[in-house]
Amino acid sequence: MTHKRIDRKKQKRKRQVYESNLINNGLQLEATRSVLDEKLVFVKVHAPWEVLCTYAEVMHIKLPLQPDDLKTRESAFNWFTSLFRVDENIIKPEQEFFTAPFEKEHLSNFYIQDKDTFFNPATRSRIVHFILSRVEYATKNNVKKFGINKLLDSGIYKAAFPLHDSSFRHPSTDPACPSERYLLYREWAHPKNIFKLQPLDFIRKYYGEKIGIYFAWLGFYTNMLIVAAFVGVGCFLYGCLTKDNCTWSQEVCDPNIGGNIIMCPQCDKVCTYWNLTSTCESSKKLCIFDSFGTLVFAVFMGIWVTLFLEFWKRRQAELEYEWDTVEYLEQEEQVRPEYEAQCTHVVMNEITQQEEHVPYTACGKCIRMTFCASAVFFWILLIIASVIGIIVYRLSVFLVFSATLSRHINGTQAIHKYLTPQTATSVTASLISFVVIMVLNIIYEKVAILITDFELPRTQTDYENSLTTKMFLFQFVNYYSSCFYIAFFKGKFVGHPGNPVYWLGKYRNEECDPGGCLLELTTQLAIIVGGKAIWNNIQEVLLPWVKNLIGRYCADARSEKIVPRWEHDYHLQPIGKLGLFYEYLEMVIQFGFVTLFVASFPLAPLLALFNNMLEIRLDAWKLTTQFRRMVPQKAQDIGAWQPIMQGIAILAVVTNAMIIAFTSDMIPRLVYYWSFSVPPYGSHSSHTMKGYINNTLSVFNISDFRNASKPSSPWFGNQTTCRYRDFRYPPGHQHQYEHNIYYWHVIAAKLAFIIVMEPK
């Protein structure tokens, strides 16, 4: 623990009472003044053998009875994985033991060779933190105040943390027996180990099960991405190789076909008529992503995500057994100090028929839950409001870009070949959406913590699961809402040029390019995923490194004395109250992007694979070199992230099926290929895609424009009609501008595809 000598008597008295109570609980304290700052005092906490034994029994900590002599069966893949394992001569395998909850009266039954090593450093830190979290420091109005967390929040102490065992740069005083931190840095966190398997048992020994299982999950996820990335790259290459044979794109670019097709304006007044060939470049790009390979990949990813979750459950069960956490929640997990402090009500337990102390009555619990649910719902509505604001921006700015970048019929200006009003609007809206997402994340983080604190969960696992659910629900809406809008709403409810649909009664709904909105969805994903990865690395890696670098420079400038280990650790960055929460959140959000919208971007698993290979080493480097050591915690599994990923997996199958059906142009092309491009009777020619573009663009009579939507620019040429993307009867038909039979065939095919793709 660290504090500054402040002249406030009240804070000094609280500190004295707290430290006195720590001594009364059996801990030994040693105060040392800072070498660099005379006002800073370090209070080193030591836990004697008797204290460790007492609280090990209170906490039901499992400890060794005798070495495990059961034979282990070697895996058939050991010959392959041994190529990537850490050398066992450097990091020796952990010895296995039979364990049982510790009891002082049965001390002789436990495997105690040396009292100094019976409780490993991780267990010692857990016990000391347990005591620090429950010792009183004041009493006010008959209410006891206790816990190191409260003292830290009020500034009475500056920090409280377990020490790293030595410097990560040097093997310690004995090179023959290097420190665990040095070994972790050299064999795990160093970039040279990027292709090596992680020493999970050693990570668990040094940092605890909670961090160990995070890196186990991240490594497993990364390994599974190898298969998805391989298939995704294959589908992408298939699209690249077949794009030159893309008949509908050739028709768009053909001056005799697309060059003769004049498209209707896509907004009121300021938009003008434009030539279909102006979308030639985007149609070529779309052929890469909107190919038959994309359909195959979407089906494959539906299978992959299911196998990933099932295989992870099996791997997680193995870790529970190996790390002895199978019965952790029932036997070892303690009630949170904040919960204990509020237990002022006595109720009768209906099951045990015994009196229990609880922090609130049943009515009080309902009030708390209602308030928390209402607060979360309000913030989700706030995010939806921000998304609506982005949509209004898109609709408004599209008019400006249409007037500035209007695509002329002759298509002679080179800029129009690459920068269309849709592209300019999409890119700027995506950038603004990303900024809004980042700002709302910062605000909602504090709000979610306040709501969860008010909810008052009983255990730390309950607290983290509750906070995880709230944060992910917010992040889900925040990150994915714009993608859902582009994929399933944009261009779907636009009417036709003679009777356009208006949003909020004022803004005419956006339309997609003739090739659909799939390319725009890919752009949105690339900006958000890429921007998020860059921002996270700056925030999580670069900023702590810069702060530590500045801190070391200032320390060297102030004093030439030898700085002790505890002071070195103090000047490292704090890990934060939420610990690994943001690491999980970052990866699960990525998991959502990789699975939910992968049909629009087959290279997403490959990019995620590269990112995760770096992420493992960056997280390891950050924990080992830039952050204070976390208090080791036990964990049985990855908590609420497991059901969250299961929900994403189910939703991923639905969204990918709907992207293929409603965002991609795959189903209309297949319907045309099998139904409307039938060769003449007796002909030996096969089905063809020729004429697809002309067949899927409806005709509109220019004289049928309403005054409110009639373009203000003059009409050049002698044509009296323009074309638009839809399946409607032409003018002069008895059902003019109503949906034709092709439309209903396509709808039936889309619904059939979704039904076939849905999980049973």
Written in H, E and C, the secondary structure of 708-743 is CCCCCCCCCCCCCEEEEECCECCCCCCCCCCECHHH
As a whole number, the mean pLDDT across the chain is 78
| pLDDT band (50, 70, 90) for residue 679 | low
Alpha-carbon gap, residue 460 to 450, rounded angstroms: 15
Residue 170: DSSP 8-state: S
Collapse the DSSP code of 324 into the 3-class scheme (helix H, G, I; strand E, B; otherwise coil) and give the result: coil
Per-residue model confidence as pLDDT tens digits over 184-210: 888 888 888 888 888 888 888 888 888
pLDDT band at 229 (very low <50, low <70, confident <90, very high): very high
Please answer whether residues 301 and 227 qualify as being in contact, where contact means their C-beta atoms are separated by less than 8 angstroms.
no
Sign of CA pseudo-dihedral 293, 298, 300, 305: positive
What global pTM score does this model have?
Answer: 0.82
| 409 has pLDDT over 50 | no
Please, which pLDDT band fits residue 308 given cuts at 50, 70 and 90?
very high
Q: What percent of the chain has pLDDT over 70?
A: 81
Higher pLDDT, 749 or 673: 749
pLDDT bracket for residue 226 (50, 70, 90): very high
- Among the residue ranges 4-13, 452-461, 485-494, 647-656, the one predicted with the least confidence is 4-13
pLDDT at 519: 75
Rounded to an integer, what distance in angstroms lies between the CA atom of residue 665 and that of residue 679?
Answer: 22
Q: Write out the H or E segment, with its range, that includes residue 24.
A: helix 9-24
Rounded CA-CA distance 340/335 in Å is: 7
Polymer length in residues for the chain: 760
Q: Work out the average pLDDT over 725-732.
A: 88
What distances in angstroms separate CA 171 from CA 186, 351, 522, one per listed residue? 10, 55, 48
664: nearest Cα among 757, 737, 568: 757
235 vs 528: which has the higher pLDDT: 235
User: Three-state SS across 671-721?
Assistant: HHHHHHCCCCCCCCCCCCCCCHHHHHEEEEEHHHCCCCCCCCCCCCCCCCE
Q: Is 357 helix (H, G, I), strand (E, B) or coil?
A: strand
What pLDDT was estimated at residue 230?
92
255 vs 276, 410, 692, 704, 724, CA distance in Å?
9, 10, 16, 27, 18
Residue 129 has pLDDT above 60, yes or no: yes
- With a cut of 60, say whether residue 389 has pLDDT above it: yes
Lowest mean pLDDT among 52-61, 433-442, 597-606, 677-686: 677-686
DSSP string for 489-515 = TTTTS-EETTEE-EETTTEEPP--BTT
Lowest mean pLDDT among 480-484, 559-563, 633-637: 559-563
Asked which of 155-164, 451-460, 603-612, 638-647 is least confident by mean pLDDT, the reply is: 451-460
User: For the residues 258-265, what does the mean pLDDT come to?
Assistant: 85
> Taking 80 as the threshold, does the pLDDT of residue 678 lie above it?
no
First vs last Cα of the chain: how many Å apart? 56
Residue pair 410/404 in contact by the 8 Å Cβ criterion: no
d(CA 249, CA 495): 25
